[in-house]
Chains A and B, each alone.
Chain A
């Protein structure tokens, strides 16, 4: 069974940093692109970043580029998101999601339970 378990969320002051982690199990981790998707309170879903199987290709939404860094450790089956210079608008539940490829494009077929990040003074 595919399992994705996020950790690392919490309360942080504006301008602060936080590192999220996602522990993956039940599948061959290094066969898949992986993503972080967030959801602000009462709002919709937003793709934040994703990373290729070998970690050599990364994509970011404009609003986090330069502040967030996605990484993975295939030996430990883990996905990470280093978040710096946090802003109030980064407050959200952050989901780790596995990507599956179909017709040369991705969809997110498995999701973690999410971890809440609150940026507030």
Chain B
């Protein structure tokens, strides 16, 4: 049972912008811990998309961006492409669990 909640699914047409939220609590995101984001194409290993709230590793397209408004982190995908169809997970540290936790995951569908 994850302590980070994401919407189960979001969808958009090619070229559109979609956002994914990640809601936590006082023991993780609200405590100020950074949020990371991962993309997982079905049948493959997860891939790091964003670390430290808004940093993109080299090789990740700039249409992926992370932001954080107070205690509300989100991942945005602009200029949605068919290859962006995947599951997306947020991750943060949790004081109560003493370790890193993942979000519930969001399936992105390109219409």
Contact = CB atoms under 8 A, between A and B. Distances in A.
Contacts of B57: 109
Interface string B4-48: 000000000000000000000000000001101010100011111
Interface in A106-121: 106-114
B102 A46 contact: yes
B105 A105 contact: no
The B interface, classified by DSSP as helix, strand, loop or mixed, is strand
> Interface residues of A toward B: which range?
20 to 34
Given A47-B100, A47-B101, A47-B102, A107 B48 contact: yes
Interface in A78-121: 95, 100, 102-103, 105-114
A109 B91 CA distance: 12
Contacts of B61: none
Contacts of B51: 100, 102, 107, 109
Interface string A43-67: 0111100100000000101100000
B100 to A, nearest CB: 5
A112 B45 CA distance: 7
The A interface, classified by DSSP as helix, strand, loop or mixed, is strand
B22 to A, nearest CB: 12
B65 to A, nearest CB: 16
Nearest to A43: B105
Best-buried of A45, A46, A47, A110 by chain B (most CB within 10 Å):
A45
Interface in B69-111: 89, 91, 93, 97-105
A110 B58 CA distance: 13
B99 A59 contact: yes
A100 B36 CA distance: 12
The 7 closest A-B pairs by CB, nearest first: A107-B51, A107-B36, A111-B45, A45-B102, A44-B105, A102-B52, A47-B100
16 contacts: A37-B46, A45-B105, A46-B102, A47-B99, A50-B99, A59-B98, A62-B97, A102-B55, A103-B34, A103-B52, A105-B52, A106-B93, A106-B100, A109-B48, A109-B51, A110-B48
